[in-house]
Amino acid sequence: MSAAKLRLGVLVSGRGTNLQAILDGCSDGRIPAEVAVVVSNRPGVPALDRARRHGVPALTVSHASYGKWPLCRAAYERDLVRALTEYGVGLVVCAGYDRLAGETLIEAFRGRMINIHPSLLPSFPGLHAQADALAYGAKVTGATVFFVDESLDGGPIIVQEAVPVEEGDTVESLAARILVVEHRLLPRAITLIAQGRTVLEGRRVRILDRSGGASQCVGQ
């Protein structure tokens, strides 16, 4: 009997291009997991349509309906956790989710929730990573997948990949090239977790090779 696949709960807020990369990877077998549910905090976003086209339950738990943010965060996250739990989610994937996770959500899925950020963390955390990299004059930026904790984009890093900053780059052109990397980096991180190849040791994430030994190349 084959082992049950890791069940993913994907949190979204917008277009859902990273969600699409996950859905495609799960469908063609590159990611040994299944998307159990997609949840958006914003109604009517394209990401929900992407989920429905793949036959995946698509839910809206609108943060705006709970009151003033962040005062309403705990109540909102209690319902969010309830929805994820009802679908048997083993790993929460933030894929373009625009809320900073609070204590309720983090405690329910500590060590089982990941996010992707468009920079080489710890450089340029926050909402304007591409603009910040350009303003700073960085020659290299990239994308990072990390385990979510209470910090702002500061959780333990799973995988990273560099993206050169080109002469004449705008925020839009740089963001577009980073997004291409995100579409392969996030599925890679999910695959590593689904294969049981990530070991969280404090701030360090060790990546095991297929034989169970530590891998020497974790960022490609």
Distance between CA 96 and CA 99 in Å, rounded? Answer: 9
Strand 204-207, strand 157-164: pairing: unpaired
Per-residue pLDDT, averaged over 166-194, amounts to 98
Per-residue pLDDT, averaged over 205-219, amounts to 70
Q: Which pLDDT score, from 0 to 100, does residue 95 have?
A: 98
Q: What is the CATH number of the domain that holds 171?
A: 3.40.50.170
54, 63, 117, 183: the catalytic one is 117
Asked whether 197 and 208 are in contact (CB, 8 A), the reply is yes
Whole domain around residue 172: which residue ranges?
6-207
Asked whether 47 and 15 are in contact (CB, 8 A), the reply is yes
Comparing C-alpha atoms, which of 191, 160, 179, 147 is closest to residue 33?
191
Per-residue pLDDT, averaged over 87-109, amounts to 97
Q: Which pLDDT score, from 0 to 100, does residue 210 have?
A: 79
What mean pLDDT is reported for the chain?
A: 95
The residues, any chain, with a CB within 8 Å of residue 191's CB and separated by 6 or more, are 25, 30, 31, 32, 33
pLDDT above 60 for 182: yes
- For residue 128, indicate whether it is catalytic: no
Per-residue pLDDT, averaged over 58-72, amounts to 95
Domains of the chain: total: 1
Q: DSSP secondary-structure letter at 35?
A: E
Percent of the chain, pLDDT > 90? 92
Residue 216 lies in a domain: no
